[in-house]
Amino acid sequence: MTQVHHHALSGVIEFTPPKYGDHRGFFSEVFKQSTLDAEGVEARWVQDNQSFSAAPGTIRGLHLQAPPFAQAKLVRVLRGAIYDVAVDIRRGSPTYGQWVGVELSADKWNQLLVPAGYAHGFMTLVPDCEILYKVSAKYSKESEMAIRWDDPDLAITWPDIGVEPVLSEKDAVATPFAEFNTPFFYQG
């Protein structure tokens, strides 16, 4: 049975599916819609995305898509390990601006659900990380938004792995949280 852990922020859920192995290798049902349904997850997945980051300390995020292309994400690591972060950006939420960070890895076999209404980002902890994530809406360049990964108002405690962060040009100049105009509102 899949292990389920609800994190401190509403809707952020960690799943660890069972892995059955023997001398030949292993088998695992890594995605099971009924498991998400049982936890009240309403997202329906339209696309799988896969990314590769060669250098440890690579940061991707904090990213989000504005409505009508808002995305929930179900993130898992195929190879390596990452520190995965979700930030509540729903105006009026009692946890607005708060974050949750979870180490996801191929060894731990865990996954993180990041609902729409949250910014998402991760840092690679080791070389050669491959990440696979389901999204609930297609990508739209016009709806793309980013918040500074190291914003002091968010005060995310990123792991210190002894290397300088590796950023894209876009992430290096992302919007500070104080200037971010969220398109999401808390529904209570």
5, 133, 139, 186: the catalytic one is 133
20, 23, 63, 83: the catalytic one is 63
Query: What CA–CA distance (Å, rounded) separates 79 from 105?
Result: 7
Determine contact, residues 49/105, Cβ cutoff 8 Å. Answer: no
Query: What CA–CA distance (Å, rounded) separates 115 from 145?
Result: 16
In this structure, the chain runs to a length of: 188
For 73, the token pair is 């994400």
DSSP string, 127-159: SSEEEEEEESS---GGGEEEB-TT-TTT-----
Question: Is residue 133 flagged as an active site residue?
Answer: yes
For 54, the token pair is 């060669």
Question: Is residue 7 flagged as an active site residue?
Answer: no
Catalytic residue set:
63, 133
